[in-house]
């Protein structure tokens, strides 16, 4: 079993916050182990909780379409969430739950070592750049410790607000050039400092 699969097994046993009480399945994430591109959403919804897989409901179908629009399949990237268990009623995750679950995402990122991280929605953005406004920074990128971070709205936003669909479709088209840029970033980059702003 790969280290990432072993980690997923470990996550599936986690009871470190209240969300373990009402979940049907833990949703660790899935995709290619050596993926260059990592998508990070917020938390599992009803469909994800039922299946134990990320982005399998309507928002997931839209994400699949977005990936297809840039010539990718979900098997070629890795898809995870900040929170691994569904908040009841799809409520926002609490700061305590976010803090308790963060260690799993960190460990996943250590194993995957993505070149480009796409944050989907404000909770995902806040994990890496606290205090940033998704409406201001969406569609822009920054480099940090050899990784490019790119902010997008969560695909579910387009389901609630049709006007955002085109915005999201435009933003995803920037990802291939970011991947090309990432290939050029040297492994040993100095100091964990910001190289360019959103």
Give the footprint of ligand SF4 on this chain (CB under 6 A): 11, 14-17, 19-20, 26, 83-85, 97, 100-101, 104
Characterize 90-99 residue by residue with b for buried, 16 or more Cβ atoms within 10 angstroms of its Cβ, and e for exposed: eeebeeebbe
Task: Compare residues 119 and 141 and give the one whose CB is closer to ligand SF4.
Answer: 119
Task: Compare residues 30 and 171 and give the one whose CB is closer to ligand SF4.
Answer: 30
Query: What is the closest distance, in whole angstroms, from the C-beta atom of residue 26 to ligand SF4 in the complex?
Result: 6
Query: What is the closest distance, in whole angstroms, from the C-beta atom of residue 102 to ligand SF4 in the complex?
Result: 8
Strands (DSSP E) found in the chain: 30-31, 37-41, 78-81, 116-120, 141-144, 147-152
Task: Compare residues 19 and 182 and give the one whose CB is closer to ligand SF4.
Answer: 19
Task: Compare residues 36 and 107 and give the one whose CB is closer to ligand SF4.
Answer: 107
Q: What is the Cα–Cα distance from 116 to 27, expressed in whole angstroms?
A: 22
The span from the first CA to the last CA of the chain, in angstroms, equals: 38
Query: What is the closest distance, in whole angstroms, from the C-beta atom of residue 100 to ligand SF4 in the complex?
Result: 4
Query: What is the closest distance, in whole angstroms, from the C-beta atom of residue 109 to ligand SF4 in the complex?
Result: 15
Query: What is the closest distance, in whole angstroms, from the C-beta atom of residue 86 to ligand SF4 in the complex?
Result: 9
Strand partners, 117: 38, 149
Query: Which residues are CB-contacts of 168 (< 8 A; sequence separation ≥ 6)?
Result: 62, 66, 152, 153, 155, 157, 158
Task: Compare residues 20 and 185 and give the one whose CB is closer to ligand SF4.
Answer: 20
């Amino acid at each position: 079993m790969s280290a990432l699969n072993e980690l997923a097994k470990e996550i599936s046993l986690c009871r470190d916050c209240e969300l373990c009480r009402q979940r049907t399945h833990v949703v660790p994430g899935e995709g290619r182990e050596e993926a260059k591109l990592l998508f990070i959403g917020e938390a599992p919804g009803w469909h994800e909780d039922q299946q134990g897989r990320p982005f399998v409901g309507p928002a997931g179908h839209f994400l699949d379409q977005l990936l297809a629009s840039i010539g990718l399949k979900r098997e070629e990237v890795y898809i995870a969430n900040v929170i691994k268990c569904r908040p009841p009623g799809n409520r926002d995750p609490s700061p305590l739950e976010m803090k308790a679950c963060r260690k799993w995402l960190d460990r996943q990122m250590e194993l995957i070592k993505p070149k480009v991280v796409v944050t989907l929605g404000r909770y995902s953005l806040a994990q890496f750049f606290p205090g940033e406004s998704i409406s201001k920074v969406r569609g822009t990128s920054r480099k940090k410790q050899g990784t490019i971070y790119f902010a997008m709205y969560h695909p579910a936003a387009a389901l609630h607000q049709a006007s955002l669909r085109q915005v999201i479709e435009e933003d995803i088209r920037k990802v291939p050039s970011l991947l090309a840029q990432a290939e050029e970033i040297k492994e040993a980059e100095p100091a964990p400092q910001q190289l360019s702003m959103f």
